[in-house]
């Protein structure tokens, strides 16, 4: 308004031509350039913050989780005493089954006591309890399985690696120190010193822990034995179901909506609702899955089939939206060309438009799958959080067996008290991230491979 009341001579008006040197920045240009520099600085700061957050996240996860991939084992001679494991003395596996895992614990206790004596290890206050909690309960179970599988071992002395308890394992991962051992009811300073002495002798070894990736979840008493096997299988089964169901349904729905459906209020409503579905909180899909698939249809709880169906519903809107975008992006000249030589609408679609839209469709599908892989909330509601220690069988029967899922396993482990579970939760996140990264790389690869110029 002030401009109107106090008119200034217009610099470009023909009456007063003002020539300024190009070498000097005038005030207006200066302001403009400053604004541009400010904007760029904002961008650099924003990206810097994002990268810092990502690095921090990855750093903490790897710091806490990488130790889950390593496990400490003791290698000491263990005498398989016949009177303990085979009281009947006839080497009959059926009779030997009656000796419970607890009995094998005695073998390990005796072996450790013998080891301490033999090597002359003198530790003040080393109690029987320190010896019996030195090994993981899983160690006894492994030993029992080995003997039952091969009764010839009875009466011999074997030297197999035996899994140590989570506390002993923690001593070599920085989780348990001498001071924390003194305060911990589940270990003691004497046990700490025993472990250190055995380490010095070279009879404790830390090696890569394949069991973490392959074995099943375990109870609170033996966190050191917990693994991701069931969760990985469960996630894999669900992804298979999601892929097999949502890709054809999603692509068919998008083709129909994009190419064949009449444009009227009904299709408008469908369109709006598909976009809305993509924004519905995932837990709502979980409630729906519980009500429909479990309670109404009667499918078993905790089964990958239910999880897969729920995740399919969750992924469909994403796939439909990205597929429609990919179909729209195909230039109309290609459709014209195909129609012009007398191709039907369906031929045009399947011979020309769909192949050109394929990279976009695949990218959208894989990103949808990656989203589904990391989804936790709906799976909690349909019982995938259950404690499962048996592997689901091979598909298709396995789709009905109880299983877990990777993100649910992470959630589950973070709820448990033992610090070894916390370490495993971080380890499971690493596995999950590795799968997500692999899927994203696959998406990029497919996009590059199928990308065509027109």
Partner 1 sequence: MDDVRLAERAVDTDARDIKFQCRDVQVWYGEKHAIKDVSVDLLDKTVTAFIGPSGCGKSTFLRCLNRMNDTIGIARVEGQMLLDGENIYDRRVDPVQLRARVGMVFQKPNPFPKSIYDNVAYGPRIHGLARNRAELDEIVEKALRGAALWNEVKDRLHETGTGLSGGQQQRLCIARAVATAPEVLLMDEPCSALDPIATAQVEELIDELRATFSVVIVTHSMQQAARVSQKTAFFHLGNLVEYGDTDDIFTRPRDPRTESYISGRIG
Binding residues vs partner 1 (CB under 8 A): 262-263, 331, 333-344, 347, 351-352, 356, 452-454
Q: Shortest approach of partner 1 to residue 339 CB, angstroms? A: 6
Q: Shortest approach of partner 1 to residue 349 CB, angstroms? A: 12
CA distances for 377 relative to 122, 153, 203, 242, 307, angstroms: 53, 48, 45, 17, 11
Q: Cβ neighbours of residue 35 under 8 Å, at least 6 residues apart?
A: none
Q: Cβ neighbours of residue 446 under 8 Å, at least 6 residues apart?
A: 359, 362, 363, 366
Q: How far apart are CA 33 and CA 31, in angstroms?
A: 5
CB 309: neighbour CB atoms within 10 A?
A: 24
Token pair, residue 68, equals 């889950």
User: Which CB, 202 or 342, lies closer to partner 1?
Assistant: 342
Own/partner long-range contacts of 30-35 (Cβ < 8 Å, ≥24 apart) = none
User: Which CB, 295 or 347, lies closer to partner 1?
Assistant: 347
User: Which CB, 298 or 342, lies closer to partner 1?
Assistant: 342
Token pair, residue 25, equals 């920045």
Q: Shortest approach of partner 1 to residue 256 CB, angstroms? A: 15
CB 369 within 8 A of CB 239: yes
User: Which CB, 150 or 268, lies closer to partner 1?
Assistant: 268
User: Which CB, 296 or 454, lies closer to partner 1?
Assistant: 454
Q: Shortest approach of partner 1 to residue 257 CB, angstroms? A: 14
Own/partner long-range contacts of 443-449 (Cβ < 8 Å, ≥24 apart) = 443/362, 443/363, 443/366, 443/367, 443/370, 446/359, 446/362, 446/363, 446/366, 447/359, 447/360, 447/362, 447/363, 449/359
User: Which CB, 4 or 341, lies closer to partner 1?
Assistant: 341
Q: Shortest approach of partner 1 to residue 272 CB, angstroms? A: 19
Q: Shortest approach of partner 1 to residue 25 CB, angstroms? A: 43
User: Which CB, 231 or 353, lies closer to partner 1?
Assistant: 353
For residues 284-298, one letter each, b for 16 or more C-beta atoms within 10 angstroms of the residue's C-beta and e for the rest, the string is ebbebbbeebbeeee
Q: Shortest approach of partner 1 to residue 264 CB, angstroms? A: 10
- The sign of the torsion formed by the CA atoms of 149, 151, 154, 157 equals negative
């Amino acid at each position: 308004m002030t401009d109107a009341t106090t008119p200034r001579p217009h610099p470009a008006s023909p009456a007063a031509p003002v020539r300024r040197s190009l070498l000097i920045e005038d005030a207006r240009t200066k302001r403009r350039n400053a604004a541009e520099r400010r904007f760029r600085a904002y961008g650099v700061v924003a990206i810097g913050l994002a990268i810092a957050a990502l690095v921090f996240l990855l750093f903490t996860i790897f710091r806490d989780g990488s130790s889950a991939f390593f496990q400490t084992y003791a290698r000491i001679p263990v005498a398989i005493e016949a009177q303990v494991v085979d009281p009947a003395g006839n080497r009959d596996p059926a009779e030997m089954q009656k000796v419970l895992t607890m009995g094998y614990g005695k073998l390990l206790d005796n072996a450790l006591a013998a080891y301490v004596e033999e090597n002359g290890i003198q530790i003040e206050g080393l109690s029987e309890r320190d010896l019996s909690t030195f090994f993981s309960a899983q160690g006894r179970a492994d030993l029992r399985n080995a003997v039952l599988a091969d009764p010839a071992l009875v009466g011999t002395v074997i030297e197999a690696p035996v899994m140590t308890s989570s506390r002993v394992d923690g001593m070599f991962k920085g989780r348990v120190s001498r001071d924390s051992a003194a305060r911990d009811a589940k270990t003691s300073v004497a046990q700490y010193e025993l472990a250190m002495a055995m380490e010095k002798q070279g009879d404790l070894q830390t090696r890569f822990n394949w069991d973490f990736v392959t074995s099943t979840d375990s109870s609170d008493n033996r966190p050191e034995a917990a693994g991701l096997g069931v969760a990985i299988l469960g996630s894999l089964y669900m992804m298979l179901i999601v892929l097999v169901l949502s890709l054809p349904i999603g692509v068919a729905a998008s083709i129909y909506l994009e190419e064949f459906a009449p444009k009227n209020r009904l299709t408008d409503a469908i369109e709006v609702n598909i976009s809305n579905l993509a924004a519905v909180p995932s837990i709502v899909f979980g409630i729906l899955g519980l009500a429909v698939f479990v309670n109404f249809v009667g499918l078993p709880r905790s089964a990958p089939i239910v999880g897969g169906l729920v995740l399919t519903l969750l992924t469909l809107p994403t796939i439909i939206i990205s597929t429609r975008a990919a179909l729209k992006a195909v230039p109309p000249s290609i459709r014209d060309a195909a129609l012009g030589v007398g191709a039907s609408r369906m031929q045009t679609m399947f011979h020309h438009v769909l192949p050109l839209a394929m990279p976009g469709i695949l990218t959208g599908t894989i990103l949808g799958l990656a989203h589904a892989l990391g989804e936790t909330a709906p799976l909690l509601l349909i019982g995938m959080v259950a404690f499962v220690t048996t592997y689901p069988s091979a598909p298709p029967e396995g789709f009905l067996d109880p299983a877990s899922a990777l993100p649910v396993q992470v959630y589950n482990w973070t709820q448990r008290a033992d610090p070894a579970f916390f370490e495993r939760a971080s380890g499971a996140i690493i596995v999950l991230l590795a799968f997500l990264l692999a899927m994203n790389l696959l998406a990029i690869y497919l996009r590059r491979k199928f990308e065509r110029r027109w």
